[in-house]
Chain A
C-alpha cells in the first residue's frame, strides 16, 4: 500500500493524491448512494502520460482501478468495487480545439458538459447531449454512460455526437479510435466504447461533433387533469409523426414541489403537465406548435400555455432540470428508476406505477423524458424506516420488470453500473452475455479496469458484489 502511494505520488505529485480516510469519504459513492466503498487512494492525473503510468503501476501491483468524472452517475458506475485506485479525471478539463469549419471540438474528459456549450455561445453551434446534470457532469462521464438528456429526443444521445476518442487501454497502451474524420477504416470501436461504463479502458481525450443551433423554438406547457390524459397526448404526438425537440412529463407530485421551489405559476391541481419544445425554422415552428396544441386539446388538455419570452422558456427548463433538487421538499430520501418502454406503452406503465404505489403504500412521483418512453419514477421514503426501504426496493424491481415485459429496458441513460446488474440476466440471454464478456476479456482480460460493473459475470480481482442495502437519494438524469 505504501509502495503504491509513494509511486503514485512520484507520478502526479503530492497534490494529486488523496489517501486519508476523511478525504476519501467523498469518493465512496456517486449519485447512487445505496452502495458505498472507499477507494484505497484517489489520484488526479493531468495528462494522458500520467494516466498511462498510473494504469501501468496498477497492473504491476495487481490493484484494481476505476475512472471517475464528477461522480454524478446514478447507477454506481464509479463505485470502486474492490477498493484500489480511483483515477479522477477532473483536472483534465481543457478544451483543446474548437473547429467550427469542420464542426468538431477536441476536449479532455474532465470538462464539464455545460462548459463546452458555454464556450460555443455566439458561434451558432452547440454540443447537443444535455443531461440535466450538465452543470456538473463531465463529458468523459457522458462518454462512459452514453448519457442522454431532454433534447436527445430529436438530437440523439452521446454516441451520436462522438467522432473519436483517445483511450488508455487496461494494459496501459494508448489508442486513438475514430478521429476528426468520419468513417475511419476499421470497426467502429468508438461506438462500442461509448456506454461501456469504463470497463474497456479510460477515455483521455474526445473529439465531439458540434450541432447547429436551432433557428427558432416554441416551448409549451400542456396542462392535464390526469396522468392518463397526458400520456395519451404523448402517444398522439409521436404517432402523428411529430418529433419535438423535447417532450417531458411532470406529474402533480413533482409539480407541487417545483412550484414551492421556483414559483413558476404551475397549476397545483393538475394531474400532470407536459413540457413540450419544438425547434426548427421560424417559418415552421408555429405550424408544428399548433398541431401539438390541437393534439393536446383532443387528448383533453385543460389548457396549453406558451412560453412567451426567452426568459420564461429558460425558467421552464430550469424547473425541469432542477426537478430532482426540489424533491427534498417532499421526502428525506428518494430513489429514481430509469426504465424505458415503447412510447405507445407509456399510458400502461404509468397506470402500473400508480398501482404499484398503492399496493406498496409508497408515494411515487414522476418527471421524465416522455417522448423517448424513458420513465423516471421517483420513489419517496425515509431511509430510517427499514420496512419502507424494503418496499421501495421491491416496488422498484416490479416497475423495471414490467418495463422488460412491455418490450423495454431497465436503463435508458443512467447505465447498469452496479445497481442494475441483477437485471442483465433478464434482459439478455446467456449467449448475449457471453459475447459481451468475450469483448471485455479481449480488452480487459484481468478485469482490473472497473471491476464489478455492468456484466453479471464481471467479478474480477476477487472483489465481492456489495449487497443492495438501502436506497438513498439519487441525483437526476
Chain B
C-alpha cells in the first residue's frame, strides 16, 4: 500500500517536478491536502501523492480590503484563526477544519449548513494559481473582488477533485465576522408540517442563514456529536440566524412566532458557544465514522421533505440543507454488504431522478464502487467534461479514475 510521496516546498518546485514527470516517468499523481477526503467519490489510481503540507504560507492579507491570499496547504482552522484576529471570516462550513486544507476544500467543493445564507466556495474564490498535468503553473482571476478578465478557471477547479490541476495558491474574498448567532431546534410530528413551515419562511421577516431538516436518525447523530441535550424523537428543523446581538434576538423572536403555531412540538434555543457547537456538529455530519455509505442528493428545495420522509422510513440518516435542496445521507451500519446498500439506495436514487435531481455517492467501501452509480444518473454534459479533461490532461496523469473520466456517458 505504500505510495510514493512528493512534498514540494514551493509551487515553483512542484511545477518543475510535474513537468519532469510528464516528460519522463509519467507517474499517476494524486494531489492531497489534509487527507480528509481521500475516500470521497471514486478512489484514484496513483503512483505518487503530492502533499501540500509545506505550502502553508500567507502570501498577502490586506484585511481592510476583505481579501486574503494563502497557499493551498493551509489548514482551515489556521485560516479561520487568522481571519478571526481581524474580526473576519470565510463563511463556508468545512468539516474537520484541524486537518482539512483550503486547497482540498476547494477541490471537493466542501460546504455546510450556512450555504443557504452565505453561499459556497464559488462565491468566495476570486483568484488561484494551479499547476496542470504538464507542469505549467497558471493563474486565474486576481486579488480584487470584481474581475471579469479572461476565463474564470477558479470555477472549473472548484469541485474538480484534483483531476484538472493541482491548486497551489488561492485568493479569497472574506466577510466581517457577525457579532452573534443563534439556533432554533424545532421538532415536528410530520415532515409535511415542516414543509408547511418552510413555505411560510420563504417570506419570513427574518433572514435565516441555515435551514436544516433532519430525520430522526440524523437528529440523533447530530445530538450525540454535539453533546447538547436536544430532543430527537421526532424530525427536526433547525434554523440559524446571525448578526448583531440585537438582530439575532429580534430574528429568533420573529421566527418563534412564525413557526410555533404550525405544528412545532418541542423547541430549544441555542446561543453563543452552544450555537457554535451545533453549527460544528451539523458540519461534521457529512464525515462518515462507521457508516458504510455516505451520499449527497441534490433536489429542488420543495422536494426535501418527501425525500427525508422516505429516508426516515429506511432508517437512513439524512440532513437536508433545506434552503438549497442539498441533502447529505448516512446509511445505517446494518447495510453492511454491497447488495444491502444497493437495496437501500435504489428507492432514494429513483426519487431523486424522478424529481429532476440526482444522487451521488461520497463514500463507500472501495470494492463496491464499480457496481454502484457513484455519480448518479448520467448528466448530459458529462461528455464535454470528459473532452475537457482529455484536453487539459491528455496523458491522464492527474487523479485518473477519480471522477469524470470514470463516469458512464449516455448515448
Contact = CB atoms under 8 A, between A and B. Distances in A.
A146 B376 CA distance: 30
Contact of B136 (A191, A415, A435, A440): A435
Contacts of A284: 243-244, 246-247
B155 A181 contact: no
Contact of A180 (B154, B250, B356): B356
A255 B326 CA distance: 47
Given A343-B65, A424-B149, A409 B387 contact: no
A22 interface: no
Contact of A432 (B119, B150, B379): B150
Contact of B66 (A175, A238, A455): A238
B230 interface: no
Nearest to A416: B149
B148 A191 contact: no
Contacts of A281: 205-207, 243, 247, 250-251
Contact of B158 (A100, A191, A372): A191
A159 B142 contact: no
Contacts of A183: 109, 159, 296, 298, 326
Interface stretch (B218-226, B267-275, B299-307): B299-307
Nearest to B164: A187
A103 B323 CA distance: 9
Interface in B234-288: 243-244, 246-247, 250-251
Contacts of A102: 300-302, 325
Contacts of A101: 199, 202, 300-302
Most B C-beta atoms less than 10 A away, residue of A99, A182, A434: A182
Contact of B142 (A343, A409, A436): A409
Contacts of A100: 202
Nearest to B355: A181
A262 interface: no
A271 B388 CA distance: 52
Interface residues of B, number: 80
B152 A413 contact: no
Contacts of B251: 281
Contacts of B301: 101-103
B123 to A, nearest CB: 5
Contacts of A373: 65, 144-146
A204 interface: no
Contact of B145 (A146, A372, A414): A372
B84 interface: no
Contacts of B147: 340, 408-409, 411-412
A181 B298 contact: yes
Contact of B203 (A124, A280, A433): A124
B101 to A, nearest CB: 20
Nearest to B111: A183
A431 B139 CA distance: 8
A469 B263 CA distance: 69
A189 B386 CA distance: 12
Contacts of B150: 416, 424, 427-428, 432-433, 436, 454-455
Given A192-B156, A342-B144, A181 B151 contact: no
A242 B176 contact: yes
Interface in B343-383: 356-358, 360, 375-376, 379-382
B389 to A, nearest CB: 8
B79 interface: no
Nearest to A415: B148
B243 to A, nearest CB: 6
Given A195-B152, A431-B136, A442-B391, A189 B66 contact: no
A285 B321 CA distance: 28
A284 B379 CA distance: 44
Nearest to B391: A442
A414 B381 contact: no
A192 B146 contact: no
B1 interface: no
Given A159-B155, A241-B88, 8 more contacts: A102-B325, A145-B148, A184-B379, A185-B358, A185-B376, A239-B64, A241-B177, A443-B384
| Smallest CB-CB A-B distances: 7 pairs | A191-B155, A241-B176, A239-B64, A442-B391, A412-B146, A181-B298, A409-B147
10 contacts: A181-B300, A212-B207, A281-B207, A343-B66, A373-B146, A407-B143, A407-B144, A413-B146, A413-B148, A414-B148
